[in-house]
Amino acid sequence: MLNKSKIIVAPLNWGWGHAARCIPIIRELQSAGFVPVIACEGIALLFLKKEFPNVEVLELFPYNIRYKKHFKLGMFMQIPSIIRAIYKEHRILESYINLYSDEVVGVVSDNRLGIYTQKVPSVYVTHQLNIQAGSLSFVINKVHHYFINKHQECWIPDEKGSLFTGDLSKSRGINTKFIGILSRFEKKKVNYKYDLLVLLSGIEEQRVVLEALLMEELKHFKGKVLLVRGSLKTTHANIPSHIKVVDYLLSDALEETINCSRLVIARSGYSTIMDMIRLKKEAFYIPTPEQTEQEYLALHLKSKNLANSCTQKEFQLKRLNAKKNVYVADTTVDKRLLSNHIKRVFKLVQV
């Protein structure tokens, strides 16, 4: 018989990406006999509650990050409110651990700076140790590393050698462990149902802009299209007959849909990239404007001939035919790697 050995898993509420890549972590914790507690808020929490309806939830204080026209300047102006949110979520975490001190045995924070503790083993999950922010990079990375070093170690969801993250995951002075690609999906042999799958996600203001752009361009696409809006706000009107539109898909349905699609258009968020790698899927990436991480990843994968991409302003339908020298990454996901790291860091108490 096992005690209630709880591990708090806290993804950043920034679209669905951080929450999605925590799904395999939560599943692996359950397989190892731990009891996960999901700690977040907003759309990320709604998403995870649909995936894990019976898992305990700890609701955190929102960062309330707003996407501004000038992304980096907008983020800089929001630093005071972000600091307040970090402080408040840290107090929520510590209060919960104090209340359940006999049950909580660990903490996993995916880019939530206030989710750290010295009371139980704690790990931080990120692929960005070297944040690309122009003139602000030095200061931002100093602050980020300060919070990362409050954890026992930092888990990087990539292959050794930073194959897919490139310079983003390279840094000194941090205890890092590569835990392999994190994806909730499995590659399956199925017949193609769609010639093109469009996966929209990310900050709502730019998601709407890209949706409008793609809908206009895809009117002339020769083939069957499925567009997943990545939004809980339903607005469907004047859709061409060769295009099917859905608001969102849960994991099982999305896994099947990606597997049965020839080509995928998506943002170059790292969680999406990991899903495409896991499913060995050809992808075309359109990074969110001024999100330097996505811009870097799109260019990095293009330089490695792993995917084609272009900016949002540059996109035209004819770019989908530019498949020069692109090949699908051949990497095998070792599920034991994540399992071994979990069992190494967090000690399951038996009675």
Question: How confident is the model over 100-125, as pLDDT tens digits?
Answer: 999 999 999 999 999 999 999 999 99
Helices (H) and strands (E) in the chain, counts: 10, 13
CA proximity to 126, closest of 27, 10, 266: 10
Half-sphere exposure of 286 (CA within 13 A, CB side): 24
Strand partners, 155: 125, 177
The CATH architecture assigned to 6-183+334-345 reads: 3-Layer(aba) Sandwich (3.40)
Half-sphere exposure of 272 (CA within 13 A, CB side): 27
Longest CA span, the chain: 64
pTM for this structure? 0.89
Same fold, 6-183+334-345 and 194-321: yes
pLDDT bracket for residue 328 (50, 70, 90):
low
pLDDT of residue 172: 85
pLDDT of residue 156: 97
Question: How confident is the model over 28-43, as pLDDT tens digits?
Answer: 999 999 999 999 999 8
Environment class of 24 (CB within 10 Å of its CB; exposed 0-12, middle 13-18, buried 19+) = buried
The CATH code of domain 194-321 reads: 3.40.50.2000
Structural domain boundaries in the chain? 6-183+334-345, 194-321
**234 pLDDT higher than 70:** no
CB 136 within 8 Å of CB 143: no
List strands edge to edge, sheet with 194-199: 243-246, 225-228, 194-199, 261-266, 283-285, 308-309
At 280, list the tokens: 């060995």
